Structure 1
């Protein structure tokens, strides 16, 4: 390179010499910035309210404003409701009749006490490849249709073999009428057949499967659920919004409270989809920190039995 060739780019060269090179981002931060930050996030979880569908054997749960459990030396008398006006905060008292409520993660101890409870599930459950098998067309013709092995092999012929260690959710359309409490009484309902469960777990070695209804199958003995639990497998129930998730290519983030000895888990499932997916939101698309202020504050509505924006 002669001097005439060099002079036009000399300022850029000097800038390159004086600008520090950005250090490689530590650990998994690069993965977050390259992949997860631009991904689309879809919530697969129903909101828990006092009137959502639940098995009648458990009964409905109740929400109420929290009260002082003891006398607090003039700050609040025992039994007094905490209010923003007097105490600066409010809280809620939840009487939850069961840990089998709403969108769930069932540990095997739900049926088989020799297997892990919800607090004994490993931390590796946190994030997995997500597969969504759609049987809505068959459910429209037969509301009691259960996923068959043939549905799985047909799916694989189109999308490829289901990955080992993945989570498989079965899309049936059952949850479209949520939160109508009558949903819990409809029988038969879309299920997952025992042979299909065995194929997914024993042949494809998935982590767990999930479905929209509140039970695995409509057989008299719940044979599928019995087999799962007595063989050490967990399952998801009451999953929502599966029509907004691609059949393959997404991940699922799995969150659940860690109740000691818990036999069920109120779960939060979030599908993490490719950035060009048509549904969901990406980081930065909505206000996150600070969160947005509403012109309709929350207030307890006795008719609804919960706090709503009024």
Structure 2
């Protein structure tokens, strides 16, 4: 993990000296992996939706413009992080996840064709083995992103979740892909990854009742990024992910701003 520090220091120093956009500090392309928070943001059927309350938007009696809002949101909705504490009593809360674990070289495992044919598809060990046959072993310390293709369905709740209904009864009607528990166990026992993310509402598939993949990953303090955007714009490897959540003390999750930085020659 320490190998990340020279990159981070170089990035911050270069940005401080330049008046240009951050992308001018290095050669590469930035891809935003986060959906905006607004009235269309998708949340779990039992969660409260995002709310923005306008406090001020106009000119004051002293002649200057001033805007301010209040917002309210559940931890687990929109593009967000699941901290290990979400399903592991001794897991890291959001504020205790080492920042080095949220920044690193990443890969994309594309299972979109399988998910298009089966909304309940679970990414399994054979998918990772097939990726490794083409690209080599998953690097130690990698951030693994699963492209299901569901990101293109956002913000259509029915297409994205399988139902537009809300409340506890709607949970049984959820249909979207996720990570198979045996694959989560393989990643945590046979490989060494920093974090995992995907473009659906949960790391477990929609019909899961025991949330085993959550539990397996989080017992090993591997956080999950959910509802990611624009995974179809990423190469298979050769890029860096920076995924920084709101630092909620004691939080089990929180809103996430994630960015991919594709280096020259990264599209492989």
TM-score between both structures, scaled by the size of structure 2: 0.81
CA distance in 2, matches of 1:113, 1:84: 49
Give the corresponding residue for 2:185: 198
The structure richer in strand per residue is 2
2:105 maps to 1:107: no
Q: Flag the 1:31–1:249 CA change in 2: closer, same or farther, 3 A.
A: farther
Q: Flag the 1:31–1:277 CA change in 2: closer, same or farther, 3 A.
A: farther
Structure 1: where are the runs of 5+ without partners? 1-26, 67-80, 279-310
Give the corresponding residue for 2:58: 83
Query: 1:60 Cα deviation (Å)?
Result: 1.5
Give the corresponding residue for 2:198: 211
Q: Flag the 1:151–1:31 CA change in 2: closer, same or farther, 3 A.
A: farther
Q: Which of residues 240, 243, 247 is equivalent to 1:254?
A: 243
CA distance in 1, matches of 2:12, 2:115: 43
Structure 2: where are the runs of 5+ without partners? 1-8, 16-23, 164-173
Q: How does 1:153-302 map to 2 (within 5 A)?
A: 153-182=129-158, 183-186=160-163, 187-218=174-205, 219-275=208-264
Judge conservation of contact 2:162–2:175 (CA < 8 Å) in 1: no
SS of the equivalent of 2:151 reads: helix
Give the corresponding residue for 2:171: none
CA distance in 2, matches of 1:117, 1:163: 26
What is the CA deviation profile of residues 193-213 of structure 1, one whole-angstrom value per residue up to 9, with x for unaligned ones?
111111122211101111111
Give the corresponding residue for 1:116: 92
Count of matched residue pairs = 237
Give the corresponding residue for 2:44: 55
Q: Flag the 1:126–1:233 CA change in 2: closer, same or farther, 3 A.
A: closer
What is the CA deviation profile of residues 198-233 of structure 1, one whole-angstrom value per residue up to 9, with x for unaligned ones?
112221110111111111123221221122223432
CA RMSD of aligned residues (A): 2.4
Query: 1:181 Cα deviation (Å)?
Result: 2.9
2:122 maps to 1:133: no
2:10 maps to 1:28: yes
Computing the radius of gyration from Cα coordinates, the structure with the larger value is 1
SS of the equivalent of 1:90 reads: strand
CA distance in 1, matches of 2:11, 2:236: 27
What is the CA deviation profile of residues 253-303 of structure 1, one whole-angstrom value per residue up to 9, with x for unaligned ones?
12111111111021111111123567xxxxxxxxxxxxxxxxxxxxxxxxx
